[in-house]
Chains A and B, each alone.
Chain A
Amino acid sequence: MITNGYLSFEKPLVELRAKIAELEKFMQDKSIDLSDEIAILEKKAEKLEKEIYGNLTTWQKVQIARHTSRPTTLYYIKSIFTDFMELRGDRLYRDDQSIIGGIAKLDGRPVTIIGQERGTDTKDKIARNFGLPHPEGYRKALRLMQQANKFGRPIITFIDTQGAFPGIEAEERGQSEAIARNLREMAGFTVPIICVVTGEGGSGGALAIGVGNRLLMLEHAYYSVITPEGAAAILWRDASKAQEAAEALKITSADLKALGVIDEIVPEPKGGAHRNPEQQAAFIKKAIVKHLNSLLKLTPDELLEDRYQKYAQIGNYLEPSKGSR
């Protein structure tokens, strides 16, 4: 599906760009003026770019969110914050490297950062279990968040996981309990919490570090109760119908904004975050700083209540005795 980092639906654009580059080279080599032709093709490319990236289907967005070159949490930590100091271990069992955490400064202000890290090269990916946490990962996250709460540091989380790891040991050590406890404890902290879905928001495994005052989401990220493949397997007993399932589940940033789940969509560079990671980091930083500044005006009690109300209002139901909502 991916060739030279390009996704199949990007092919016409890639070909056109290659042609323009070829013409430019030809013009230089032979000193023939082709600038009119190039200008026409450039216009055509721009139009095509708008068409392709302006009308991405849900499935195309999922492909971008899963792109192997998409920046991961560690990249964002290093480009958005300074003085990052990683803090490790859950003090109970082991250090789960699929979740990374620590303290850093955001424009000089100390904050605690937590995020799933899926890894960059093969060795790193295996060491980080492809960003699929075990209970001890969530318990490390909890320990660091409790520490942040104790010292009044805002918490910033980066969500990027297909889900919590479905394994024998994960169940034995209480995957459910670890996630559940994080949901409860995050609801009770009195510091600002900002969560950013940067890639894949895979169900409970994502939510376990995702209960915040503000929930931001990158333009092409997705957030779903079940993977499109899993939903297709249940609905049609056919995992290859994932594309249809992805549409039906309403998992894009625009869908989540419409459903009242997220607070802001962070734009992505044309073609996705991997096309310009630096610019992407700058976009994320801008959004975090903006929301953090508004949250810092609230008292601890107000922060708690703000978060409670945010989740209390999510849902869609009829109540004939009181009217619909």
Chain B
Amino acid sequence: MFKDLFRKQRRYATIPSEKAKKEVPEGVIEKCPSCGTILIAKELEKNLKVCKSCSYHFPMSAQERIQSIVDVGRFFEYDPDLLSEDPLSFPNYPEKLAQDKEKTNLNEAVVTGEGTIGGYPAVIGVMDPRFRMGSMGSVVGEKITRAAERATMKRYPFLLFSASGGARMQEGVLSLMQMAKTSAAIEKMNRNKVLFVSILTNPTTGGVSASFASLGDINIAEPGALIGFAGRRVIEQTVRQRLPEGFQTAEFLLKHGQLDMVCSRLELRDTLIKILEFHA
């Protein structure tokens, strides 16, 4: 690379001493990408992965999210064995699925189930952004549809935490149709007057924001979450102008009337319990 020509050459290599390695084992500390503060991982976890100094919300795995919301030990998972296939024989798709399964310890990008929150029963869905960017293919669509159908049947409120880059390209038009399928299931819930609360977390974009995630009776977002239909780059290339400050953030959407509230993760469980109590 041309750039390399100008890079400062390091004269000495630094070899971390054995002692230094032992003092800070991997995963003990984490640096906040927003304010740069060094945080103790255990404390960060205790604080629901919210930075103590700037309130930046770190990404949460599906497992962590469920733990942070559901009453201890009160979660029963639905359809854990639904597995993606490769309907289009898309280049490298099976390998990517296998990698993400190993990385996340999940079978797919959403975990659904039922549990109690503050004693109130609810059907819960949680998307995990680490699995194929939380994208929606056939399995994600089917699991969310089944969860919505069970919520309708049992007349339990449905709480859905979105975190997704959108429809999954590798399953082509089948992914696109999951938008219609999930929205039809939400329609059935709506017609049967069952509560649907959509919690939009970072990021909720594309086909997920343009289907169930925008359809809550109440739409809540986490602070700073990226939420939008089209990607920034696509918009920039189309309109050829700079995007306004804070474009497509939760706060931007709140200001433009697309959300009911932006709620800190530290207050989210209490807020949800309050909502459940109102609708009990």
Contacts and interface: CB of A to CB of B under 8 A. Distances in A.
Interface of A: 164-168, 170-177, 179-181, 183-185, 187-188, 203-204, 207-208, 210-211, 223-226, 230-231, 234-235, 248-251, 255-256, 259, 261, 307-308, 311-312, 314-321, 324
A161 to B, nearest CB: 13
A187 B257 contact: no
A315 B138 contact: yes
Contacts of B230: 164, 166-167, 170-171, 175
Contact of A173 (B85, B145, B256): B256
12 contacts: A168-B244, A180-B213, A187-B184, A188-B191, A226-B167, A226-B169, A231-B169, A235-B91, A250-B172, A255-B173, A259-B174, A314-B177
Interface stretch (B19-27, B35-43, B235-243, B260-268): B235-243
B184 A184 contact: yes
Contacts of A173: 256
B186 interface: yes
Top-7 shortest CB links A-B: A166-B230, A315-B138, A183-B183, A187-B184, A316-B87, A180-B214, A175-B229
Contact of A204 (B176, B227, B235, B248): B176
Interface in B213-262: 213-215, 227-231, 234-235, 238-239, 241, 243-244, 247-248, 252, 256-258
B219 to A, nearest CB: 9
B229 A166 contact: yes
Contacts of A234: 169
A169 B117 CA distance: 38
Contacts of A166: 229-231, 234-235, 238-239
A268 to B, nearest CB: 20
Give the one of A180, A235, A255 with max B CB within 10 A.
Answer: A180
Interface stretch (B3-11, B68-76, B204-212): B204-212
Contacts of B82: 317-319
* Band of interface residues on B: 35 or more
Contact of B85 (A168, A230, A324): A324
Contacts of A176: 209-210, 213-214, 227-229, 258
B181 to A, nearest CB: 4
B95 interface: no
Interface of B: 79, 81-85, 87-88, 90-91, 138-139, 141-142, 145, 167-169, 171-181, 183-188, 190-191, 206-207, 209-215, 227-231, 234-235, 238-239, 241, 243-244, 247-248, 252, 256-258
A316 B138 contact: yes
A252 to B, nearest CB: 10
Nearest to A163: B230
A175 B210 contact: yes
A314 B181 contact: yes
B214 A316 contact: no
A183 B184 contact: yes
Contacts of A231: 169
Contact of A180 (B87, B167, B210, B252): B210
Nearest to A249: B172
B145 A174 contact: no
A1 B16 CA distance: 59
Contacts of B234: 166, 230
A75 B189 CA distance: 39
A149 B92 CA distance: 45
Contacts of A175: 210, 228-230
B212 to A, nearest CB: 7
A230 B215 CA distance: 27
Nearest to B231: A166
Residue of A187, A223, A259, A321 with highest tally of chain B CB at under 10 A: A187
A38 B78 CA distance: 70
A184 B244 contact: no
A184 B187 contact: yes
Contacts of A230: 234
Given A168-B244, A315-B141, 15 more contacts: A166-B239, A168-B235, A171-B228, A174-B258, A204-B167, A223-B173, A225-B168, A225-B176, A248-B90, A312-B145, A312-B184, A315-B138, A316-B138, A317-B84, A317-B85
A261 B169 contact: no
A231 B88 CA distance: 14
B147 to A, nearest CB: 13
B228 A259 contact: no
Nearest to A212: B180
A172 B256 contact: yes
Identify which of A183, A320, A321 gathers the most chain B CB atoms within 10 Å of its CB: A183
B209 A249 contact: no
A319 B108 CA distance: 12
A317 B256 contact: no
